[in-house]
Amino acid sequence: MSIRKLVLLSFISVTVAACSSDVFLVHNGNMPSAEKISQISAGQSKAQVAQVLGSPSSVTSFDGNTWIYMSSTLKKVAFFKPQEVNREILAISFNDNNQVVKIAELDETDGRNIKVDTEVTPTPGQKIGFFRKYFGGVGAYLPIAPTSSGDNL
């Protein structure tokens, strides 16, 4: 067997070994157990819910009256895009008196795909050219500020 064939065979062996079929399952989030969720009922306060379930994964940004607990499991294979295997969401809504009014358990079937708009919003202002963008600040930085007394050290 020649050296070329040996090197080629080694290269192919290493390449095939690098493309392993190892599957990694990654779990993200802090979904409480079904036992803990069953302890929550309408009328309980935010403090009581936090004591049983812990801190939420997220709180709605507009009014803060909906706590969201979520978790997901992703399947990762080598360099391919991860696939979501499982998603669970628990949304607890509170009224203005900080009492539970609604408990909703959701999964991946309740989600929907949102199309991202690729249009660009025009903004008013100047269009900066190449030279101004890269050389516009030349001479503007003075590391040693001049003194008004005229002292030279």
Give 105 or 145, the one with higher predicted confidence: 105
Does 17 have pLDDT greater than 80? no
What CATH architecture does domain 22-109 belong to?
2-Layer Sandwich (3.30)
Q: What's the pLDDT band for 100 if we cut at 50, 70, 90?
A: very high
Alpha helices (runs of H) in 19-145, residue ranges in sequence order: 34-38, 46-53, 130-135
pLDDT for 5: 81
Closest CA to 58 of 73, 49, 70: 70
Q: How confident is the model at residue 97 (pLDDT cuts 50, 70, 90)?
A: very high
Confidence check: pLDDT of 67 > 90: yes
| Model pLDDT, residue 101 | 95
Q: Compute the distance between CA of residue 56 and CA of residue 67 in angstroms, rounded to an integer.
A: 6
Structure tokens at 5: 């064939």
**What are the residue ranges spanned by the domains of the chain?**
22-109
